[in-house]
Amino acid sequence: MKKFIKDFFIRGSLFAWTGPVILAIVWSVLQATGVVSGLTVNEVVLGIVSVTIMAFVAAGVSVVYQIDSIPKIFAGLIQMSALYIDYLAVYILNGWIPLNKVWIFTSIFVVAFLIIWFIIYISIRIKVEKMNKMIDKK
């Protein structure tokens, strides 16, 4: 279990920087399109800290797939739940999504997660089948 916790922190630390970079891009686009004209210091600090934590958790939670005792579908549900709570908390905390629109976010999140998870699962399965065929030929 120590190894998985260590891996969680390593993965999270390696990718935590992506949150603020993506946030800066989003803020730049919003400013360029006239949606946002300025931000307060508190909004900037809250945004940077919260998306750093969000990216840390999002990257770290993928460690669940390394735990052999957890079926892949259950690991996927763990990852989906962690990402949902992570993203939703940050979006609400920053005021990026009104509480009466959480159902829209939830619907989009679940559909997008399942599509992405399915695509990745199928591509990995195809690669494993190819490798097994190569092994059988030898």
pLDDT digits (tens, 9 = 90+) for 54-69: 999 999 999 998 888 8
What is the greatest pairwise CA distance in the chain?
64
| Buried residues in 6-41 as b, exposed as e (16+ CB within 10 A) | eebeebbeebbebbbeebeeebeeeeeeeeeeeeee
The region of weakest confidence among 24-28, 48-52, 116-120, 133-137 is 133-137
pLDDT for the residue 109: 96
Q: Say if residue 103's pLDDT is above 90.
A: yes
The pTM of this model reads: 0.81
Q: How far apart are CA 22 and CA 51, in angstroms?
A: 9
HSE, side-chain direction, 13 A CA sphere, residue 21: 5
3-state helix, strand, coil in the chain (%, to 5): 85, 0, 15
Every domain of the chain and the residues it spans = 2-98
Q: Say if residue 70's pLDDT is above 80.
A: yes
